Amino acid sequence: MAENILNIALQLTDTTRRKISELDEIMLRTQILAMNARLEAARAGDAGKSFAIVAKEMSVVSGEVNALSASLHKTIADNATRISEVGTEMTLAFRGSRFADLARNAVEIMDRNLYERSCDVRWWATDSAVVDVLEQPTEERVRYATSRLATILRSYTVYLDLWIADRNGRVIANGRPDRYPGVVGMNVSSSEWFRKGLATQDGDDFAVCDVEKAKAFDNAQVATYSTAIRAGGETRGQTLGVLGIFFDWGPQAQTIVDTVSLSEEERREARVMLLDAKHRIIASSRPEAIGTHYPLKAEGPWGYYQTRDSQVAYGLTPGYETYRGLGWYGCIESPLGT
Mean pLDDT score, 249-255 = 93
Is the CB of residue 284 less than 8 Å from the CB of residue 290? yes
Given this model, what pLDDT does residue 179 score? 95
- Reduce the DSSP state of residue 278 to 3 states and report it: coil
pTM of the full structure:
0.75
Residues 253, 241: contact at Cβ < 8 Å? Answer: no
pLDDT at residue number 319: 80
Question: pLDDT tens across 185-221, in order?
Answer: 999 999 999 999 999 999 999 999 989 999 999 999 9
Q: What is the pLDDT of residues 146-179, one digit of tens each?
A: 999 999 999 999 999 999 999 999 999 999 999 9
Per DSSP, 205 falls in state -
Q: Which SS3 state, helix, strand or coil, does residue 175 take?
A: coil
Q: What is the DSSP string of 32-72?
A: HHHHHHHHHHHHHGGGGHHHHHHHHHHHHHHHHHHHHHHHH
CB 134 within 8 A of CB 243: no
**279 closest CA partner among 309, 306, 312:** 312
Q: Contact 108/320 with Cβ under 8 angstroms?
A: yes
Domains within the chain, CATH numbers bracketed: 2-91 (1.10.287.950), 116-248 (3.30.450.20), 253-335 (3.30.450.20)
pLDDT for position 142: 97
* Confidence grade of residue 34 (pLDDT, cut at 50, 70, 90): low
pLDDT of residue 323: 75
- Of the ranges 5-9, 66-70, 76-80, 147-151, the best mean pLDDT one: 147-151
